[in-house]
Amino acid sequence: MFADELNEPQAAAVAHTSGPLLVFAGAGSGKTRVITYRIARLIAEEHVPPWRILAVTFTNKAAAEMRGRVQRLSGAEAARSLWVGTFHATCAKLLRVHGAAVGVRPNFVIYDSSDQKALLARVLKDLDLDDRRFPPRSVLAHIHSHKQEGRGPDEAAAHSYVDEIALRVFRSYEERLRASNALDFEDLILNVARALEGTPEGELIRQRFDFVLVDEFQDTNATQYRMVREISRNHRNLCVVGDDDQSVYRWRGADIRNIRGFRRDHPDATVVKLEQNYRSTQHIVAAALSIIARSSSREPKELWTQNDAGDPILVVTARDERDEASLVVESIVRARGRGTKLADIAVFYRINAQSRVLEDALRRASIDYEIVGGLRFYERAEIKDALAYLRVIDNPQSDVDMLRIINVPTRGIGATSVERLAAWASSRGLPLTEALARIGEIDQLGATAKKKIAAFAGLLGGLREAAKTLTPNELLVRVLSDTAYVEVLGEEDTAESDARIENLRELSSSLLDYEVEAQAAGEPPTLCGFLERVTLASDTDSLGEQGKVVLMTVHGAKGLEFDTVLLTGMEEDLFPYQTQQNKPQDSEQLEEERRLAYVAITRARRTLVMIHTQYRQIFGKTRWNCPSRFLDELPNYGVVRSTTTSIERSFGPGFDRDFEPDETSGLTGAKQVPPPRPVEGRFVDRDFFHDQPDESTLADMRRGSRVHHDRFGEGRVLRVVGAAEPTVVVEFPGWGEKKILARFLKLA
C-alpha cells in the first residue's frame, strides 16, 4: 500500500505493524505523511478499528491536520472515530470517564496559566510570603517542573530553607486546586499516568487502544512519556516520531532523554531514519547541516536532498534594526516580484520584542502582514470574565473564578470585604461559595458588605437556576445581561470598550458554533464541554490563509515551511540568545539555540536571507553586536555575504530598479556612498560608521581575538558585552580581566 508514494525508510515505517517503533524524522522528510499513511494502513490492511488507535500531538493544529489527512485517506467515518488529540485534550477526555480512580471528579475545570498564577498569588498571600523573595512566576515554574517530572509535593526533596518554603507553597497550591475541583495542565497528564500505573481502572484505559502514536516525541516531558509508555504497556504497539535536532523546548520541560528512555524501555524497537529532505534546496540543506553538525550528542544521521542546488543563501549586514527592517521590506518586494505569494514569505525573529520595528516598516510599505503570537483571544480580560461566570455556574467551588468576578462589574464589594470573606472561608477550609451561602455567620463583615455579597449570591443562584434550562449560549447572553456587563462597557463608550463588546459577541458566536458541532456529533452541548474546549484551544488555525506575510518567532515557526524565509537578528547574545547579565553561556542552552537555528533554516524551501545588525536598540538600550556564531559556521559555498549598502552587488545589477527606495533604507545609501569594499570572510563595511571612530569595531573583535592596549599591552578577548558602545572583556597577562571600550584597543 502506498508503495509508489514512499521512499524506502518511509515505507518501512508505514509497513511496521506490531511492537515498538522509533522514527527519526529529519526536517522536511515527510513525517506527517508517514504517520497518516501508517494509520490508514492499520485501518485498511490490519483491520484495526479507528477508535482503537490513539495519536497524540502537542498542538491542536497538528491534531487537526492529522485528522484531516486521515479523512482524505480513510474517509470521514474513520477520521471521526480515531483518537487524535493533544496530550492535554486526550487526558482530559480520559479523566472525565476514568478520573474517579485517582480522585478526580468528572466535572473538573481546567486552570490555564493565568488561573494558575491567580491561585498561586492566593497561596503566597495566605502563607504571608513576600512576593519579591518568592516571585509568583518562578515559584510556579518550579512547581511545574516538579509536576513535569512526575513529582508531587511529597516526592519533591527540599535541600534548603527556601526549598522548604517552596514545598509548602507547592503543597498548598495542590490543596487549593483539589478544593476548587480544578486541574492544571500538568495534572491532566499526571493523573492519567497515575491511574494507569496504580489502579485497576488503568487497565480499562489501556484496553481502549491497540495502537499508540506520538508525534514530536522530542518535545515530551517525563510525565508525558510515562503516560504513553504505560498506556501501551500490554501490547507495546507504540510508535514515536521525532527529531532530536529539532528539540527546542527543554525550557518548558521537554526531555530529549526520553528518546534514550524509549530505547532502554524497548530494546527490541525497530528504528527507522527518514533522512531524505523533500522541502529545501541543496544550499539550504547544506547550511542547516553545517550548523547542526557541530551539535554534540545527537543521534547520528545525515539529511540529504535530490532537489536543485537553488539560489545562494544571503547573509546581510545591516546597520541597525531599522535598516534591517528596510532590507526585509526590499526582500519581500523582490520575492513578490519573482511571483512568490505573500503568504509564502515569513519573517522570523528570536524574541517578540524584535517585531515592532519590522511591523512599522511593513505598515509603511503597505505590505499586508500577520503576526503570530501575542495576546490570545481567550486571554482577554472581558473573555476571561465571561468565562469565569460560566465556570462558577458550572463549578461553584472554583475560587479563582469566584474571586475574579465577585466585584466585576463593580458592585461595591471592595478588596477589604473580599479579603475578610476569603479569610473566613480559608480558616474553615471551605470554598468561597460556602461563605456566600453562610454570609450571615460572618461577623467580620459589616451590614452593607453582607447585603451586597448576599445580592451577588442571589445573582449567581438565579443564573445557576437558569443554566438548568438554557443552552450554553443562551446562558452567556443571560450572564451578560443580568450582570449588566455589556451595559457597563457600553457606558464607557471608548474605542476600547467597543472592541471588548465585539469580542464578547465573538465569544457568543463561538459558543453557537460549539452547540452546532456538538449536535452534529450527536452529543448534547454542555457548558462543561465548551469550557474544556476553550481552555485547551489555541487560535492559530487560520495561519497563512489570508495572503499576508507572516511574522513570528523561530519557536512559532517550528513545523511550518515557507518558500522564502527572512531570518533577522542573527547576532551574538540575541541568537544565540543570552540573558542580560554577563553570565557565561551554559552549554546545554547553547545547544538548544543551535537546534533552534537549525529549525529556522530548515523552514525555507527556496530562498533564505539571514540578517544581522551592527547595533540595535533592545530593552531601551543600544547594543553593539557581533555577528552570530551561526553565521560563521555556514559553508563558504552557496552563501553570499554582503551589506545593505552593497546589496546591488550581491543581488546583481538592477536589483533595486523596480521599487521606490525608502528614505531610511540602506539601499538609498548605495547610491550615495562610495562602493563598499568586500572583505574576505567576515564582512564589515566601515562606511557605516561615519560617526564612529575609524578604529577597530566590535565586528572585528570576537572571542579569542588578540588585541593591543596602550597601557595593558597585548591581551586576548574573553567576551564581547552589550553596551552603549562597542565593549569587550580582555584578559591581559599580568593585569587580569579588564572591561574596555573597543575604541581603546587595536587588533594585534
Positions that interact with DNA (CB under 7 A): 58-61, 86-89, 112-113, 121, 131-132, 137, 185, 251-252, 350-353, 356, 373, 407, 410, 412-415, 535-538, 540, 552-553, 555-556, 577, 579-580, 589, 617, 619-620
Closest to DNA by CB, 442 vs 552, is 552
User: Strands, DSSP E only, in 35-106?
Assistant: 53-57, 83-86
* Burial of residue 147 (number of CB atoms within 10 Å: 0-12, 13-18, 19+): buried
Q: Which residue has the cell 519579591?
A: 132
Instruction: Look at strands 713-721 and 727-732 and give their pairing.
Output: antiparallel
Per 3-state DSSP, what percentage of the chain is helix, strand, and coil (rounded to 5)?
50, 15, 35
State yes or no: is 246 an active-site residue: yes
Closest to DNA by CB, 78 vs 120, is 120
Q: Least distance in Å: CB of 60 to DNA?
A: 4
Which residue from 38, 86, 30, 20 is spatially nearest to 240, judged by alpha carbons? Answer: 20
Q: Least distance in Å: CB of 700 to DNA?
A: 27
State yes or no: is 370 an active-site residue: no
81-94: burial string, b at 16+ Cβ within 10 Å, e else:
ebbbbbbbbbbbbb
Closest to DNA by CB, 20 vs 556, is 556
- Which of 17, 32, 71, 526 is an active site residue? 32
Q: Least distance in Å: CB of 252 to DNA?
A: 5
Closest to DNA by CB, 60 vs 646, is 60
Q: Least distance in Å: CB of 625 to DNA?
A: 16
Q: Least distance in Å: CB of 61 to DNA?
A: 6
Could you tell me if 248 and 599 are in contact, meaning their C-beta atoms sit under 8 angstroms apart? Answer: yes
Separation between Cα atoms, residue 544 and residue 550, nearest integer Å: 7
Q: Least distance in Å: CB of 629 to DNA?
A: 16
Give the C-alpha distances (Å, rounded to integers) separating 686 from 229, 578, 622: 58, 27, 19
SS (H, E, C) 2-35: CHHHCCHHHHHHHHCCCCCEEEEECCCCCHHHHH
Could you tell me if 41 and 15 are in contact, meaning their C-beta atoms sit under 8 angstroms apart? Answer: yes
Q: Least distance in Å: CB of 17 to DNA?
A: 30
Separation between Cα atoms, residue 627 and residue 632, nearest integer Å: 8
Separation between Cα atoms, residue 321 and residue 681, nearest integer Å: 23
Closest to DNA by CB, 248 vs 684, is 248
Closest to DNA by CB, 309 vs 455, is 455
CB count, 10 Å around CB of 142? 17
Closest to DNA by CB, 131 vs 517, is 131
C-alpha cell, 738: 579588564
- Which of 216, 219, 573, 700 is an active site residue? 216
State yes or no: is 224 an active-site residue: no
C-alpha cell, 70: 486521515
- Which of 246, 471, 578, 614 is an active site residue? 246
Q: Least distance in Å: CB of 581 to DNA?
A: 9
- Which of 404, 603, 641, 719 is an active site residue? 603
Could you tell me if 288 and 610 are in contact, meaning their C-beta atoms sit under 8 angstroms apart? Answer: no
State CA 58 to chain mean position distance.
Answer: 10
Closest to DNA by CB, 272 vs 600, is 600
Which residue from 205, 275, 271, 209 is spatially nearest to 236, judged by alpha carbons? Answer: 209
Closest to DNA by CB, 617 vs 668, is 617
Closest to DNA by CB, 40 vs 442, is 442
Q: Which residue has the cell 518550579?
A: 142
Q: Least distance in Å: CB of 351 to DNA?
A: 4
State yes or no: is 603 an active-site residue: yes
Instruction: Name the CA radius of gyration of the chain, rounded.
Output: 29
Could you tell me if 252 and 569 are in contact, meaning their C-beta atoms sit under 8 angstroms apart? Answer: no
Q: Least distance in Å: CB of 231 to DNA?
A: 17
State yes or no: is 697 an active-site residue: no
Closest to DNA by CB, 121 vs 718, is 121
Which residue from 224, 274, 271 is spatially nearest to 20, judged by alpha carbons? Answer: 271
Question: What would the DSSP string read from start to end of 157-191?
Answer: ---SHHHHHHHHHHHHHHHHHHHTTEEEHHHHHHH
Question: What would the DSSP string read from start to end of 195-258?
Answer: HHHH-HHHHHHHTT-SEEEESSGGG--HHHHHHHHHHTTTT--EEEEE-GGG---GGGT--THH
Could you tell me if 484 and 409 are in contact, meaning their C-beta atoms sit under 8 angstroms apart? Answer: yes
- Which of 115, 210, 215, 593 is an active site residue? 215
Which residue from 196, 224, 289, 375 is spatially nearest to 630, judged by alpha carbons? Answer: 289
SS (H, E, C) 607-664: EEEEEEECEEEECCEEEECCECHHHHCCCCCCEEEEEHHHHHHHHCCCCCCCCCCCCC
Q: Which residues pair with 550 in a beta bridge?
A: 346, 370
Q: Least distance in Å: CB of 585 to DNA?
A: 10
Separation between Cα atoms, residue 184 and residue 102, nearest integer Å: 15
Q: Least distance in Å: CB of 329 to DNA?
A: 20
Q: Phi then psi for 52, rounded to 5 degrees? A: -100, 10
Closest to DNA by CB, 14 vs 406, is 406
Could you tell me if 143 and 165 are in contact, meaning their C-beta atoms sit under 8 angstroms apart? Answer: no
Q: Which helix (H) or strand (E) holds 102?
A: none
State yes or no: is 215 an active-site residue: yes
The DSSP code for 126 is: H
Closest to DNA by CB, 144 vs 605, is 144
Q: So which residues are the catalytic ones?
A: 31-32, 215-216, 246, 603
